[in-house]
Chain A
Amino acid sequence: MTPPPGSLLAAENLRKTFGPTVALDGAHFSIHPGEVVAVMGPSGSGKSTLLHCLAGIVPPDSGSITYDGRELSGLSDTARSALRRSDFGFVFQFGQLVPELTCVENVALPLRLNGSPRKEAERAALTWMERLEVDDLKGKRPGEVSGGQGQRVAVARALVTGPRVVFADEPTGALDSLNGERVMELLTDAARSTNAAVVLVTHEARVAAYSDREIVVRDGRSRDMERAI
């Protein structure tokens, strides 16, 4: 099968089992550059598994994933990790910042891993921290900032490499309404300004309302609500 025209990342007929558990049972997905797509559905329906497959973290048992015209399964493990570092950014629900590093070091980390010199990396990191309004936390460690602040630091880190796709799995799951809203505003503003695509897993409708469209995953099968109508 061919991915929908113009899509940056597309998956066809994904299947993934964990032992006897069928996590994905023929899931489809596609996203355009600059698009924010919400992935919704009940707990255990396969949303995170879908995200992990799309990001090349977990290989599906069968089905195809194309990113920018390339088939992900055709890449070596090394090439896939390199792609993740250069083209993808990640935001999760919690526990993603390195506790021993300061906030600015955390944000600079993806650039350092890509070989940038420290000074340059931290300068770029600070620019993103300013955009997410957490630059005043630069010298603090993650244990010394609030959940909402930490989440904004995590968003800055996800965006610092200029990713073409941001994967966010319940990015506001641990936040109250006001902080969750702020994180979503900043994340989607930043993504729009860089034309990055955002894959947003959430079970909260008010969070999904920041997306351009939604797909619903149920029992490992996905339903694209826009195309279905």
Chain B
Amino acid sequence: MNGIYLDNNATTMVAPEVVSAMLPYFSEQFGNPSSMHQFGDKVGRALTEARRQVQALLGAEHDSEIIFTSCGTESDTTAILSALRVQPERKEIITTVVEHPAILNLCKQLEEEGYTVHYLKVDKKGRIDMGSYYNLLSDKVAIVSVMWANNETGTLFPVQEMAELAHAAGVLFHTDAVQAVGKLPINLKESRIDMLSLSGHKLHAPKGVGVLYLRRGVRFRPLLRGGHQERGRRAGTENSAGIVALGKACELAMQTLEQEKTEVRALRDRLERGLLAQISHCFVTGDPGNRLPNTCNIAFEYIEGEAILLLLNRLGIAASTGSACSSGSLEPSHVMRAMDIPFTAAHGSLRLSLSRYNSEAEIDYVIESLPPIVAQLRKLSPYWRGDGPVSNPQDLFTPNYA
């Protein structure tokens, strides 16, 4: 397919090597890995291999710490519910205001059920205050769940330090590392992280396969009970093709981590510099000095993100926005709001997320294409006149009906 894909935080292309690795598991390798015959045995061995590949990428001490699930959301849910069930006397959860809905909506539900959820706030750069975190840790807290990297801005949280603090306080620590795995080096055996979620489709494996890392010795209750798959920790006949694919994707990610850090980052920086140099009244959101190497999130003031996306799409460029209208929610993304980005800019936030499959030519094309789009939309905007915003835009244009 033609087009420039800069929406890799939403999902990624399945790597060609991954596709070829998984294909046999749709056809000749159809056996049930639990079966006592050659059909099952071959598949069982493939799953073992995949488990080791995931283990290697995560730097986990044991391959039995890897539990295959159906997606990142399932891993997140399993982790939090398990922590609550093994410690029924602990009724509090600590998380942040900028988590993915997989965590936030679960927490909202748990609040309805009587749990107390502490949401750590972030500052204008999307950073949390370790002091307030430290003060919340107590023996009433069942689990801390904090994302490793934010899906919208790429901002990284100091999860390793946070896990240390949680461990010292005797509190379980989970991290949603869906956006981090494959983009950053991770070494779980050197950390105090008890549980970690990842999702295949964010690292060039297909959709519908994920992993929950569960440190050996951490007490656990399964989400799905049934057969003895995944050592009874996640029942349901394994998605063998997906798991094999994820294993292969992890193996590839091991080899390309360096590339993420150098080439992908250089492309991202080139893109960002190119855009900022040409377009006025825009700024990078999040914490630019401390973020994923592939993510660039820029807020363009006085225009709206969905309109930008539609115009980009016409040129074959795929990106995403934190604007309300693209989601139908009518409110700008909770991440933009949490960082206190003014509404005039929050609606115009554009996320460009790269992968190792992007080229310099593509990036240059975007650098060339985006400025006229921004100019075109600003020309339509009531907040804009000529080369800049109307002086004191909020006063000059004060629409009725708030």
* A and B co-occur in one complex: no
Q: A residues near B, CB below 8 A?
A: none
Q: What residues of chain B have their CB less than 8 Å away from a CB belonging to chain A?
A: none
